[in-house]
Amino acid sequence: MALPNGATKVARQFARAVIKRQWAELPPLFTADARAIHTPESLETAFGWKHLAPRLRQMHIDMTGESEEMVPELDPPKRFEVLEVEERDPPAGHDPAVPVGWVEVDFEPSEDSDFDQCYNCFLAFVDDAGPKITAYAIESSTE
């Protein structure tokens, strides 16, 4: 895995912008090709709690088989932790000649929440005159 220098710093910038709902600050963190796909509006749809919370809740229900009545509403992220990922397959369609590395961002609710985590986000980084995000994957923290 080839994680570019500074990738964890960029991942922290990404996480802070998501928590603060500053969608316009996210596209500059992506490669030029990815920016064509990931606009502030599309990133708000992907990461905005109004859209994401119901998807995560449904993912949890589908994976655990619990009834909707048993699964409470999730709390929005207020904190995060950034971790380097040792092994993960390259994003779909990624050029194998271009080294890629992954960083995991664990989004967490406030400390007084009943939940430990909200969700995990994996950011794929390439070196494009500095660390740039080329793809992301959102996963339920129960996966």
pLDDT value, residue 142:
57
DSSP secondary structure code for residue 54 in this structure: H
Cα 109 to Cα 95: distance, rounded to the nearest angstrom = 36
pLDDT value, residue 130:
92
Cα 140 to Cα 120: distance, rounded to the nearest angstrom = 6
Q: What's the CA angle centered on 34, arms 79 and 75, to 5 degrees?
A: 25
Low-confidence ranges of the chain (pLDDT < 50): 143
Decide: pTM greater than 0.85. Answer: yes
- The strands making up 131-140's β-sheet, listed across from edge to edge, are 79-85, 101-108, 119-127, 131-140
Helix axes 49-64, 40-47, angle to 10 degrees: 40
DSSP secondary structure code for residue 30 in this structure: B
